[in-house]
């Protein structure tokens, strides 16, 4: 994450990951979620915060999840149904459950299919926000597979040359295991910047870069300026056509096809009132090649990347998953920094739902 | 494609797709490729030029293919073998064949597996350049599947913050069928710009945009300027930047997507990434087919595709733009135009054809 997005030291309150896990699970249970699901959901969110993925941890989305459960937008204990199934695939109707609670079991089904026929693909419609989707890709990597996860929800991005948003940030997550190196873990929106980053920039008072959002008429904003207070549309990865925004746009559509369309649903740009759709893919490494050799080759590749001579002004070359791993080590030991505003929200909501308050360090 | 990349009108010579197909087939056969394989490869290249994808048609790469066959780096008559197989997957050793020729059968195998278990993934190592990977994704779409095709070859692209190239342009393609609208067909490098675009820019004397390449020390070039005269690709040379260009504008995403392609092609094929061990001109490929009927009613899927593609094409444009397009729409329009009016090739390309056909004792390419 860019430095400007980090919570400033004077605004930080540190919490232990175990304490955070407990409070998040308690809050879910207070909303009617089963103990097991609540624990799994807390693990998804807290792991995101441990890995430094603040945008998708407890700070931005948890308050919405709770609001949705309390308003009946999502069911705390849904009963999903398998609409279509083959040996390698399944299409699931999520029964208006919340994605972060349904993603774990959906990826596990995918992994089992990959164990059977080499590759598995599960799509899900009528579900809720999936949160940090890298978590589910990583779940496959921990079981000797290459994992991929995608989701499509809100309408935020203008297509290249367009003046109206037509699809969501449509992130792609990808994870692959290694032997001694931290696993590769890529998870990114197909917009220049994740929409939660704009909320985060507003909260920490950071400027936006050129190519992040569009003017209301669709023209890319190409200067550095503060985040807008009102509504806005994001630009596809690339920003402008000359710098490749048609690629970000095409990748966003790839995700729309692999999630919404393959889940038997209609894109939100066509019918507004719809729930998020997801796609889970697992490639069983052992079906393609020797797993040990694969992991050794991953190690060699990841080491080659980190040993790449850096360009002037940079300390080192990273790979996706490496900084997240380093942050996790550090935060497991020293605690997770949350913004005071988030702590205030926790105080309010735990007392409102009669749950033990969040213990801070 | 950006306007600047088109062949200037005064430099173009038109040929019919049938004539082009015939000459490519003859050239491949003259290099020792069996007739049927030669025709398959010629179809891939000709379709690519019909779709307007000049960078990956006959103009840039055919001369390299011919040289690789004649120089012995590629095998014109490979005996490929299946290294591993499950109901949904296969890993193939390509025996140094040319990807352009081997891709069709590999994608067909992925499609057959998807018909059986819902999804099929075939990886191939030890194979040559795959050409325009979207062609093979389209092959799946034409059989009511969603097709994805990826490939990784030599190192040309810097990792974010790096000064030495570590990845190929590692393109991603996807195709999905619709009922009445032209199919969705996306095919793009995970660098800001395809490597072949730099060669094309040199040939048509077009400027580069900011964020396309880096100086030899790894610093992104952020102004518009002509393609530098210096050496491209490698340590101390000019190299391509990942999609996004700079970290602030998301180059770490282009870099991550490039690595994703490396894993899904090279690593899953049991190969070694080029950054660890270069084996030019060999590449690794990935062919995936998702059988729509396994996930949803095919007609429902295609209707939803139509509605989505229409919504995109009807999106009000931003100031200064005529319309919003979707990937596959301009390619379909180009194909209709070029089937009727011929394929425009640069004079320089025609000269190469004439020299090579003469040299290999093959009939000359017939122009319109």
B204-227 pLDDT tens trace? 778 888 899 999 999 999 988 888
Which residue segment(s) compose the domain that B127 sits in? 3-305+327-360
Q: Convert B221-273 into a string of H (helix), E (strand) and C (coil).
A: CCCCEECCCCCECCCCCEEECECCCCHHHCHHHHHHHHHHHHHHHHHCCCCCC
Residue A132 has pLDDT above 70, yes or no: yes
CB distance B270–A162 less than 8 Å? Answer: no
Tokens standing for residue B142: 């034409």
Residue B333: pLDDT band by 50, 70, 90 thresholds?
Answer: very high
Tokens 């140094």 sit on residue: B96
Window from A55-64, A65-74, B157-166 with minimum mean pLDDT: A55-64
Cβ distance of A160 and B270 shorter than 8 Å = no
Q: What is the mean pLDDT of residues A318-331?
A: 97
Say what the pLDDT of residue A210 is. Answer: 87
Report if residue B231 sits inside a domain: yes
**A17/B166 Cα distance (integer angstroms):** 36
Count Cβ atoms within 10 A of the Cβ of residue B174 and give its class: 0-12 exposed, 13-18 middle, 19 or more buried. buried
Instruction: Give the strand pairing for A172-176 and A145-152.
Output: antiparallel
Interchain proximity B324–A88, CB inside 8 Å: no
Interface contact flag, B295 A264, Cβ < 8 Å: yes
DSSP B157: B
Residues B64, B153: Cα–Cα separation, whole Å = 14
Mean pLDDT of A137-160: 96
Phi, psi of A346 (to 5 degrees): -60, -45
B365: in domain: no
pLDDT at B179: 98
Binning pLDDT at 50, 70 and 90, where does residue A203 land?
confident
Chain A residues touching B146 at Cβ < 8 A: 257-258, 261-262
Burial of B332 per CB tally in 10 Å (0-12, 13-18, 19+):
middle
Q: What is the pLDDT, as a whole number, of residue A1?
A: 60
Mean pLDDT across B122-148: 98
A 121-150 near B (Cβ less than 8 A): 121, 123, 146
Mean pLDDT of A167-176: 97
pLDDT in tens, B240-255: 999 999 998 999 999 9
How far, in Å, CA of A95 to CA of A101, rounded?
A: 12
| Mean pLDDT across A62-67 | 96
How many structural domains does chain B have? 1
Which residue among A84, A114, A314 sits closest to B161, beta carbon to beta carbon? A314
* B368 in a structural domain: no
Query: Are B117 and B292 a contacting pair, CB within 8 Å?
Result: no
How crowded is residue A81: how many other Cβ atoms within 10 Å of its Cβ?
11
Local confidence band at B94 (pLDDT 50, 70, 90 cut-offs): very high
pLDDT for B183 equals 98
By the CB < 8 Å criterion, does B294 face chain A?
yes
Within a domain: B277: yes
Tokens representing residue A14 in the block: 């540190």
Cα dihedral: A55, A58, A64, A66 (round 10) = 160
Residues of A in contact with B190 (CB under 8 A): 247
pLDDT confidence band for A98 (50 / 70 / 90): very high
Cβ contact B259–A320 (<8 Å): yes
Length of chain B: 368
- The answer, yes or no, to whether residue A321 has pLDDT greater than 80, is yes
What's the pLDDT score for residue B3?
A: 67
**Interface-testing mutation among B318, B323, B327, B328, with chain A (most A C-beta atoms within 10 A):** B318
Average pLDDT, chain A: 94
pLDDT at B327 over 80: yes
pLDDT score recorded for residue A135? 98
* B84–A311 C-beta distance less than 8 A: no
pLDDT at B360 over 80: yes
| B7 or B107, which is more confident | B107
**CB-CB under 8 Å, A238 with B319:** no
Q: Which residues in chain A have Cβ-Cβ distances shorter than 8 Å to B256?
A: 174, 186, 188, 320
pLDDT exceeds 90 at position B339: yes
What residues of chain A, 63 to 102, have a C-beta less than 8 Å from chain B? 84, 86-89, 91
Residues of chain A with C-beta less than 8 angstroms from the C-beta of B123: 288
pLDDT tens digits, residue range B175-193?
999 999 999 999 999 999 8
Q: Quick check: A320 pLDDT over 90? A: yes
Among the partner-chain residues A116, A192, A317, the one whose CB lies closest to the CB of B250 is A192
Q: From the DSSP assignment, how many helices (H) and strands (E) are in chain B? A: 11, 13
Q: What is the pLDDT of residues B18-42, one digit of tens each?
A: 999 999 999 999 999 999 999 999 9
> Is it the case that residue A197 has pLDDT exceeding 80?
no
Task: Report the DSSP pairing between strands A89-93 and A119-125.
Answer: parallel
The pLDDT tens digits of the residues spanning B264-313 come to 999 999 999 999 998 889 999 999 999 999 999 999 999 999 999 999 99
pLDDT of residue A272: 85
E strands, A126-205, in order: 145-152, 172-176, 184-188
Q: How far apart are CA A78 and CA A70, in angstroms?
A: 14
- Please give the average per-residue pLDDT across B45-66, as a whole number: 92
Q: What is the model's pLDDT at position A3?
A: 66
Q: Which fold has domain A3-352?
A: Ribosomal Protein S8; Chain: A, domain 1 (3.30.1370)
pLDDT at A2: 66
Instruction: Please give the pLDDT value at position A159.
Output: 97
Mean pLDDT score of chain B: 95
Is B289 part of any domain?
Answer: yes
A140 pLDDT exceeds 70? yes
pLDDT surpasses 90 at A154: no
Burial label for B39, CB within 10 Å (0-12, 13-18, 19+), is middle
Chain A from 204 to 223: CB within 8 A of any B CB: 209-211, 214, 217-219
Give the C-alpha separation, B344 to B49, whole Å.
9
CATH code, domain carrying B112: 3.30.1370.60
| Residues of B with Cβ-Cβ distance to A174 under 8 angstroms | 256, 260, 263
Segment 149-208 of chain B within 8 Å of chain A by CB: 158-164, 166, 172, 174, 176, 184, 186, 188-190, 192-193
pLDDT at B1: 63
Cα separations (Å) of B254 from A230, A248, A282, B258? 29, 9, 22, 6
Whether B117 sits inside 8 A of A219 (CB atoms) is no
Nearest to A154 by CA among A309, A46, A259: A259
**Residue A299: exposure state from Cβ atoms within 10 A (0-12, 13-18, ≥19):** middle
Residue A170, pLDDT > 70, answer yes
- Decide if pLDDT at A259 tops 90: yes
Flag whether pLDDT at B347 surpasses 70. yes
The pLDDT of residue B5 is above 80: no
Q: What is the ipTM of this complex?
A: 0.96
| This prediction's pTM | 0.96
In a domain, B10, yes or no: yes
List all residues of chain B from 297 to 356 with a beta carbon under 8 Å from chain A. 297, 300-301, 304-305, 307-308, 311-312, 315-321, 323-327
Given this model, what pLDDT does residue A50 score?
97
**Where are the alpha helices (H) located in B72-194, listed in sequence order?**
99-117, 134-141
Whether the per-residue pLDDT at A196 is higher than 80: the answer is no
Percentage of chain B with pLDDT > 70? Answer: 99
Q: Write down the pLDDT at residue A315.
A: 96
B103 in contact with A, Cβ within 8 Å? no
- Condensed to tens digits (0 to 9), the pLDDT of residues B110-129 reads 999 999 999 999 999 999 99
């Amino acid at each position: 994450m860019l430095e400007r997005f980090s919570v400033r030291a004077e605004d930080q309150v540190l919490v232990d990951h175990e304490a955070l896990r407990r409070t998040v699970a308690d809050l879910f249970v207070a909303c009617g979620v089963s103990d097991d699901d609540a624990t799994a959901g807390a693990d998804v969110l807290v792991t995101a915060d441990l890995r430094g993925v603040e945008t998708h941890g407890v700070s931005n989305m948890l308050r919405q999840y709770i609001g949705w459960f309390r308003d009946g937008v999502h069911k705390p204990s849904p009963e999903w149904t398998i609409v279509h199934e083959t040996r390698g695939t399944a299409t699931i109707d999520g029964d208006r459950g919340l994605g972060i609670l349904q993603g774990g079991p959906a990826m596990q089904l995918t992994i089992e299919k990959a164990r059977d026929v080499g590759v598995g693909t599960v799509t899900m419609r009528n579900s809720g926000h999936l949160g940090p989707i890298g978590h589910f890709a990583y779940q496959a990597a921990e079981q000797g597979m290459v994992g991929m996860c995608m989701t499509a929800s809100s309408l935020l991005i203008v297509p290249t040359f367009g003046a109206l948003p037509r699809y969501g940030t449509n992130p792609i997550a990808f994870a692959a295991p290694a032997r001694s190196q931290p696993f590769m873990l890529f998870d990114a929106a197909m917009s220049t910047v994740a929409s939660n980053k704009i909320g985060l920039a507003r909260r920490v008072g950071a400027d936006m870069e050129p190519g992040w959002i569009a003017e209301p008429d669709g023209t890319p904003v190409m200067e550095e300026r503060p985040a807008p207070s009102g509504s806005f549309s994001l630009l596809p990865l690339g920003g402008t056509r000359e710098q490749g925004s048609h690629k970000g746009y095409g990748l966003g559509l790839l995700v729309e096809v692999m999630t919404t369309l393959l889940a038997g649903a209609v894109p939100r740009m066509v019918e507004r009132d719809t729930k998020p759709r997801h796609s889970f893919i697992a490639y069983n490494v052992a079906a393609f090649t020797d797993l040990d050799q694969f992991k050794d080759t991953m190690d060699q590749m990841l080491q080659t990347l980190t040993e790449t001579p850096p360009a002037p002004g940079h300390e080192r070359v990273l790979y996706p998953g490496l900084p997240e791993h380093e942050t996790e080590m550090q935060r497991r030991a020293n605690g997770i920094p949350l913004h005071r505003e988030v702590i205030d929200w926790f105080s309010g909501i735990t007392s409102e739902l009669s749950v033990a308050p969040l213990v801070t360090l | 494609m950006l306007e600047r990349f088109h062949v200037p009108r005064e430099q173009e010579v038109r040929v019919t797709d049938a004539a082009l197909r015939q000459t490519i087939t003859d050239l491949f056969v003259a290099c020792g490729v069996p007739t049927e394989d030669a025709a398959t490869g010629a179809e891939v290249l000709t379709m690519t030029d019909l779709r307007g994808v000049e960078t990956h048609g006959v103009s840039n790469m055919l001369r390299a293919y011919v040289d690789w066959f004649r120089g012995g780096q590629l095998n014109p008559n490979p005996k490929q073998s299946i290294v591993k197989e499950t109901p949904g997957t296969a890993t193939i050793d390509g025996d140094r064949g040319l990807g352009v020729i081997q891709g069709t059968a590999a994608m067909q195998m992925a499609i057959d597996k998807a018909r059986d278990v819902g999804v099929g993934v075939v990886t191939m190592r030890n194979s040559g350049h795959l050409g325009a990977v979207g062609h093979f994704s389209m092959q799946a779409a034409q059989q009511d599947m969603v097709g994805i095709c990826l490939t990784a070859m030599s190192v040309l692209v810097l990792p974010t913050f790096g000064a030495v190239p570590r990845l190929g342009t590692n393109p991603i393609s996807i195709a999905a069928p619709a009922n009445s609208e032209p199919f969705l067909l996306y095919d793009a490098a995970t660098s800001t710009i395809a490597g072949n675009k730099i060669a094309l820019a040199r040939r048509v004397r077009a400027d580069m945009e900011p964020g396309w390449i880096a100086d030899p020390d790894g610093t992104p070039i952020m102004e518009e300027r002509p393609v530098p005269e210096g050496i491209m690709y490698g340590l101390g040379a000019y190299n391509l930047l990942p999609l996004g260009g700079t970290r602030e504008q998301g180059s770490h995403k282009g870099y991550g997507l490039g690595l994703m392609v490396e894993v899904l092609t090279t690593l899953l094929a049991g190969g070694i990434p080029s950054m660890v061990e270069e084996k030019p001109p060999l590449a690794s490929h990935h062919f995936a087919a998702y059988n729509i009927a396994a996930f949803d009613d095919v007609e429902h899927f295609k209707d939803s595709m139509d509605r989505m593609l229409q919504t995109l094409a009807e999106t009000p444009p931003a100031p200064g733009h005529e319309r919003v397009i979707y990937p596959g729409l301009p390619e379909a329009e180009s194909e209709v135009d070029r089937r009727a009016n011929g394929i425009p090739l640069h004079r320089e390309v025609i000269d190469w054809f004439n020299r090579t056909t003469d040299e290999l004792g093959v009939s000359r390419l017939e122009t319109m």
